[in-house]
């Protein structure tokens, strides 16, 4: 099912925003905490809670670069990518699962306006709609029916009170405006890109390789790791897509402590 109107990333429950770069508060509640990190990676202790799905329990997050390729990597307690949302049969109220790397990168580095918000790489699966119209992830010759296959997005996030107190939303594109957008923008009125970088799942890990014209963009980049569940707003209108369950945060406080390793 194609999204025809606003898709907005909705309420991060259990979350208050707090990053120095945005002068707001980010995600006050998490299920794991940093167990120490070196100069680049984020190492997290496995959760002791029986309520945490081990496929989303983050234990290691890193981003590396080689030549013009940046590799986003996340390891979880068990079998990454094996848990997906159940289909509801309709867009309104449908669920999205995600592995996410919030970064300090300028949104202009991937084709959006500069300083538009928190530029985040996300790997998502959602069986009730397809938001990658340029790609046929399940190779059945229909590019419009494969939202349930894990795929990647760039999203730009900002606090949005309509999503809930202290919550984040994908930045809306106001009607009648023409902001700068990536070439692979899927045509939705939000700052979301569908670049086609295929995620690779291997046992307990997921990674995404992203090509950049200028890898120097990454020299001072910081990052974090998050796993979360999202839900499409029942009104299928702004704000439309809401984060309703922050499962884990690699750093424990979304302080973006990770550094790029070359």
Q: Where are the domains of the chain?
A: 17-259
Instruction: Give yes or no for residue 199 having a pLDDT over 50.
Output: yes
* 21-27 own/partner pairs: CB under 8 Å, 24+ apart: 21/104, 21/256, 22/117, 22/118, 24/159, 25/166, 26/253, 26/254, 27/226, 27/246, 27/249, 27/253, 27/254
Please give the angle made by the CA atoms of 106, 22 and 177, to the nearest 5 degrees.
60
What pTM was estimated for this model as a whole?
Answer: 0.83
pLDDT at residue 39 in the model: 56
Q: What is the pLDDT of residues 204-227, one digit of tens each?
A: 999 999 999 888 878 789 999 999
Residue in 203, 227, 9 with CA at minimum distance from that of residue 101 = 227
Instruction: Give yes or no for residue 250 having a pLDDT over 80.
Output: yes
- Taking only Cα atoms into account, the Rg of the chain, rounded to an integer number of angstroms, comes to 17
Instruction: Give yes or no for residue 17 having a pLDDT over 70.
Output: no
Instruction: Give yes or no for residue 245 having a pLDDT over 90.
Output: no
* H-state helical runs in 49-125: none
């Amino acid at each position: 099912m194609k999204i025809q109107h606003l898709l907005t990333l909705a309420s991060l429950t259990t979350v208050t925003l707090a990053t120095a770069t945005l002068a707001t508060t980010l995600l006050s509640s998490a299920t794991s905490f940093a167990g120490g990190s070196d100069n680049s990676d984020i190492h997290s202790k496995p959760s002791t809670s029986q309520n945490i799905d081990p496929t989303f329990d983050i234990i290691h997050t890193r981003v590396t670069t080689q030549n013009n390729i940046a590799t986003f990597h996340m390891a979880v307690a068990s079998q990454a990518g094996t848990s997906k949302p159940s289909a509801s049969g309709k867009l309104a109220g449908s669920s999205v699962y995600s592995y996410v790397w919030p970064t300090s990168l300028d949104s202009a580095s991937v084709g959006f306006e500069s300083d538009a918000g928190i530029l985040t790489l996300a790997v998502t699966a959602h069986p009730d709609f397809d938001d990658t119209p340029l790609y046929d992830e399940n190779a059945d010759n229909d590019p419009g029916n494969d939202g349930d296959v894990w795929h990647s997005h760039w999203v730009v996030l900002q606090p949005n009170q309509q999503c809930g107190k202290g919550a984040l939303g994908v930045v809306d594109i106001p009607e009648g405006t023409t902001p700068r957008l990536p070439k692979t923008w899927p045509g939705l009125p939000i700052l979301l890109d569908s670049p086609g970088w295929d995620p690779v799942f291997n046992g307990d890990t997921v990674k995404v390789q992203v090509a950049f014209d200028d890898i120097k963009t990454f020299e001072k980049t910081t990052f974090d790791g998050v796993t979360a569940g999202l839900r499409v707003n029942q009104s299928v209108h702004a704000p439309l897509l809401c984060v309703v369950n922050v499962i884990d945060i690699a750093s424990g406080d979304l302080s973006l402590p990770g550094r790029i390793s070359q």
